[in-house]
């Protein structure tokens, strides 16, 4: 059964059904429906790691996607198989029980479940999947599950590529589970549940932009999301004749990595110091640094922020931060001023970017407008590396190759994306630049010895893709 999916998405569902006997035939019952959901990766065009500070972000869902087939079981086991996990050196088959989430007192705590699901590094990837079942019950979003499920996974989203493979996995599983158990949930609420699974079960301190894009993104358009905490501000069509593409550097990154976590902690330290300067009983920014304008920051707060501070000194002088998903290490030295500045300036850049992009169809000189958009992307890339310390030599090379080709050849701007530290570079290009992009990929491969990958197409999010069902 197909719910009016676009032709390309329908073919993906049909391919999943065709391959299911070979890939999952030993797991699936012949007498039970399989509910298949699909969620794409995303290209972070602007906003990136400023999402956890409340920035506006602009995200595009990619063609690469995770497909999750869910079949209810008659027992309480959660049986998971991922075709791609085995290729990455992890255990492809992982099994839990719904009873693993419970003690004699009821549902266990997030910290206990997280610790248990990640105890075996070869199986830790499955915490993103099992975490969905736990979060749905823990947050009382659904009635308690009486039976478990078989979860069958395929993916074309490269792991660690900076295009939100984890969010695609979580959202696909969540939508499949909701369908299999006859449940419904509003899109933003579903995205929030998926984010909780990543933050509190998988232990990765991501913002919410990835999950919202995987759930609610639209084909060939940018999703505008105000991360305060998750306000949709519309879908922005990409002007005719232009497109955004991604180039994967083949340098893996992780939002659970120390550089990402330390950058986030530094930003929240800056927030706490600003509140201390204000002697505020109530946070006038409601927890979001992005509500501070660059002018206000420079005039009132910048001089009070230390360049660096040890975790121990910060805790002694200011107490903890308000961030619920990170913990300060007393023995570490944290950069504060630069990490605080990035989300403040990035939000301002994204606001400018959106206004310019929306005015392009009426602009008399579209090429000049695209050059201005490109400059904002280059500024964002610079800030990632120089304010946040989250760049990489490989992504710098890709951005420089795009900049060298320039607007005269139809390449207007580029920036590192998502959690940085490698991953994918977003590029603003005109149509008809395929040969040039392939030349850049070849130059990059020659200079680094790494094989890059081009993400050139878009697709709809999980909500628009709908649910496909079949019986094995």
For the segment 423-436, what is each residue's pLDDT rounded down to a tens digit?
999 999 999 999 99
Q: How far apart are CA 258 and CA 390, in angstroms?
A: 10
pLDDT confidence bin for 1, thresholds 50/70/90:
very low
Higher pLDDT residue, 453 or 281?
453
Catalytic residues: 210
- Contact (Cβ atoms closer than 8 angstroms) between residue 425 and residue 414: yes
What is residue 4's predicted lDDT score, i.e. its pLDDT?
A: 62
| Cα 462 off chain centre by | 14
Mean pLDDT of the chain: 93
Task: Please name which of 229, 219, 266, 278 lies closest in space to residue 42, comparing C-alpha atoms.
Answer: 219
- Is residue 5 pLDDT above 90, yes or no? no
**Token reading at 282:** 């109530």
pLDDT band of 295, cuts 50, 70, 90: very high
Residue 97 scores a pLDDT above 90: yes
Query: Predicted confidence band at 324 (pLDDT cuts at 50, 70, 90)?
Result: confident
Q: Does 7-236+459-470 match 242-253+349-455 in CATH topology?
A: no
- For residue 375, give both structure tokens: 């400059």
Positive or negative: CA dihedral 381, 386, 389, 394: positive
Per-residue pLDDT, 253: 66
What is the average pLDDT across 275-299?
A: 95
358-364 contacts at long range (C-beta below 8 A, 24 or more positions apart): 358/236, 360/239, 360/242, 361/239, 361/240
Greater confidence (363 vs 160) lies with 160
Q: What is the mean pLDDT of residues 12-34?
A: 96
How would residue 3 be classed by pLDDT, with cut points 50, 70 and 90? low
Mean pLDDT of 372-392: 96
Looking at 172-186, 243-257, 388-402, which range is the least confident one? 243-257
**Residue 292 pLDDT > 50, yes or no?**
yes
Average pLDDT score over residue span 333-342: 98
Residue 351 has pLDDT above 80, yes or no: yes
CB 460 within 8 A of CB 173: no
Query: Is the bond leading into 410 cis (omega within 30 degrees of zero)?
Result: no
Lowest mean pLDDT: which of 4-13, 128-137, 377-386, 397-406? 4-13
CB atoms within 10 A of CB 401: 21
Lowest-pLDDT range, 358-362, 374-378, 464-468?
A: 358-362
Better pLDDT: 6 or 318: 318
Q: Which CATH number applies to 242-253+349-455?
A: 3.30.70.890
pTM here is: 0.91
Structural domain boundaries of the chain?
7-236+459-470, 242-253+349-455, 258-341
End-to-end CA distance of the chain: 13
pLDDT of residue 414: 98
Q: How far apart are CA 413 and CA 420, in angstroms?
A: 17
Percent of the chain surpassing pLDDT 90: 86
pLDDT tens for each residue of 113-124 = 999 999 999 999
pLDDT given for residue 257 in this prediction: 59
Q: Contact, 47 vs 163, CB < 8 A? A: no
Per-residue confidence band for 159, with pLDDT thresholds at 50, 70 and 90: confident
Task: Label residue 229 by pLDDT band (50, 70, 90).
Answer: confident
**CATH class of the structural domain 7-236+459-470:** alpha beta
């Amino acid at each position: 059964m197909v719910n009016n999916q676009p032709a390309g998405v329908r073919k993906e569902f049909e391919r999943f059904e065709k391959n299911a006997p070979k890939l999952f035939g030993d797991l699936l019952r012949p007498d039970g429906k399989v509910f298949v959901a699909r969620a794409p990766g995303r290209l972070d065009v602007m906003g990136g790691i400023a999402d956890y500070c409340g920035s506006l972000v602009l995200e595009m869902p990619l063609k690469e996607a995770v497909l999750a087939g869910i079949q209810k079981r008659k027992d309480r086991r959660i049986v998971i198989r991922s075709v791609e996990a085995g290729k990455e050196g992890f255990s492809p088959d992982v099994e839990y029980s719904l009873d693993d989430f419970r003690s004699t007192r009821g549902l266990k705590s997030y910290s206990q479940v997280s610790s248990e699901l990640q105890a075996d590094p070869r199986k830790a990837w499955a915490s993103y999947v099992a975490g969905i079942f736990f979060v749905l019950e823990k947050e009382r979003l659904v009635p308690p599950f009486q039976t478990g499920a078989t979860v069958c996974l395929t993916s074309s989203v490269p792991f660690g590529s900076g295009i939100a493979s984890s969010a695609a996995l979580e959202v696909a599983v969540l939508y499949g589970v909701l369908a299999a158990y006859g449940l419904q949930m509003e899109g933003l609420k579903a995205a929030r549940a998926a984010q909780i699974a990543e933050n509190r079960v998988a232990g990765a301190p991501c913002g919410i932009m990835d999950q919202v894009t995987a759930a609610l993104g639209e084909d060939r358009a940018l999703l505008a999301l105000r991360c305060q905490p998750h306000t949709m501000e519309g879908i922005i069509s990409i002007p005719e004749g232009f497109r955004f593409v991604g180039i994967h550097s083949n340098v893996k990154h992780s939002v659970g990595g120390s550089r990402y976590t330390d950058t986030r902690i530094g930003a929240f330290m800056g927030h706490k110091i600003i509140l201390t300067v204000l002697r505020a009983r109530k946070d006038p920014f409601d927890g979001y640094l992005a509500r501070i304008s660059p002018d206000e920051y420079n005039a009132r707060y910048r001089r009070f922020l230390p360049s660096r501070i040890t975790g121990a000194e910060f805790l002694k002088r200011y107490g903890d931060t308000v961030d619920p998903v990170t913990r300060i290490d007393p023995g570490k030295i944290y950069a504060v001023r630069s990490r605080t500045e990035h989300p403040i300036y990035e939000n301002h850049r994204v606001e400018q970017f959106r206004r310019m992009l929306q005015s392009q169809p009426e602009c008399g000189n579209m090429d000049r407008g695209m050059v201005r958009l490109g400059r904002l992307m280059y500024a964002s890339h610079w800030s990632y590396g120089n304010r946040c310390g989250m760049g990489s030599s490989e992504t710098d090379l890709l951005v420089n190759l795009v900049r060298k080709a320039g607007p005269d050849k139809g390449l207007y701007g580029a920036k590192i994306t998502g959690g940085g530290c490698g991953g994918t570079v977003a590029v603003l290009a005109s149509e008809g630049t395929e040969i040039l992009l392939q030349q850049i990929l070849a130059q990059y491969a020659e200079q680094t010895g790494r094989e890059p990958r081009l993400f050139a197409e878009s697709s709809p999010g999980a909500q628009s893709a709908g649910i496909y069902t079949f019986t094995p």
